[in-house]
Amino acid sequence: MIGIIGGYGAVGTQAARLLAAWGAGPLRIGARDGERAALLAADLGPGAEAARVDVGDDASLAAFVDGCALVVHCAGPSHRTAVRVARAALAAGAHHVDAGAAEGLDTLAATGRAAVFAAGALPGLSGLLPRWLARQDFAEVHRLTAHAAVLDAFTATGAEDYLHGVLGDDSEPSAAWADGARRPGALARAAGQRLPYLPRPVTVLPYLDGEGERVARDLGLDHGRWFTALDGEHLTAALDAARTLDRADAVTALCRATALDLAGRSPYAVLLAQLDGVAWGRTVSRTAVLRAPGISELTGAATAVAALAVLRGEVPPGVHRADAVLDPLMAVARLRRVPGVVLTVADGTAAELAVEEEGAL
């Protein structure tokens, strides 16, 4: 039995539908609203059931995870509930996958079981994509330039988790990786930037977080740069104000800003990873572009991929972060089976691809 907490939310629904389509096993859709969970379970077919669960109630949580081989956590805000759900799952003898938070992991004991955190799009796929690209003919990799662009409307819980990541201690604005170390203040914000597959110029905000540092160390990078690409002036302004606002007010402002930026437009999520290194005995640049019709779809797909890896015994026992433990070749191969998710790879830099795309238009 695979228990999915937050199963009728956008992320949980995507993960549940994919796991059902892949024949991963019977599903237990869990949420506060048992009726909505029952509707999704009925839609998924005879291999799914619904159960009410309140992650804030120990007895409710214990009852839900009982009998599960794997518990998948897709509810938010994940930074406030992740460790609690993981402890319940592991205590019941289940494996665990969390779409979001990766804090407090040192307090968990996963003897004989696998627990995978940060198994969504950001973080998660943002770390797996450059690892996958590095395995595509590169003999050496020296430099990574990565962008994450999302145009989508935040829910309140999504906005809270996003702010926790952006404003948390794990992420340092303007920092970069150079010569084997984190370099604070190395980069600056830039507006009017053209990136491939994005419909209009964006503002890019540089940052470096724990996932980026792991990728840099594991790939042996000389230099690494990571950027959040903001498509819309309202979100840019809301993020600037967030550091001085009460968190609840900042969440409200972010939800309003993303709704305004999205008005009249189609949502999207785009991850870009450009690697510069050596392949076939010469210096090359290659850029991978991963696209999806929204951030929830991409996050749910990544979570389903991680869950399948755990179910198939591809993740060793212990507590892990998705980008560091999942096989990038296997993960991306499965991701390519997801409707609406498109991965392309081209020779050249992201800037060159953007110029070619603009010229074609």
Q: What is the pLDDT of residue 326?
A: 98
Q: What percent helix, strand, coil does the chain show, rounded to 5?
A: 40, 30, 30
> Token digits for 84?
């609690």
- Sketch the domain layout of the chain as residue ranges: 2-117, 125-295+337-360
Q: What pLDDT is stored for residue 102 in this prediction?
A: 67
C-alpha span between 117 and 47 (Å, rounded): 26
pLDDT value of residue 49: 95
CATH topology of domain 2-117: Rossmann fold (3.40.50)
Alpha helices in the chain (DSSP H): 10-21, 34-44, 58-65, 78-91, 125-134, 156-167, 210-219, 233-242, 247-262, 295-311, 322-325, 328-335, 350-360
Angle at CA 18, nearest 5°, toward 99 and 197? 75
Give the pLDDT confidence score for residue 163 in this predicted structure: 86
| The pLDDT of residue 100 | 87
Quick one: pLDDT at residue 72?
Answer: 97
The parts of the chain modelled with pLDDT lower than 50 are 361
CATH of 125-295+337-360, one of 3.40.1000, 3.40.630, 3.40.50, 3.30.360: 3.30.360
Strands 95-98, 114-117: pairing is parallel
pLDDT in tens, 124-163: 999 999 999 999 999 999 999 999 999 999 888 888 888 8
Q: Rounded to whole angstroms, what are the CA distances from 20 to 14, 119, 244, 276?
A: 10, 18, 44, 39
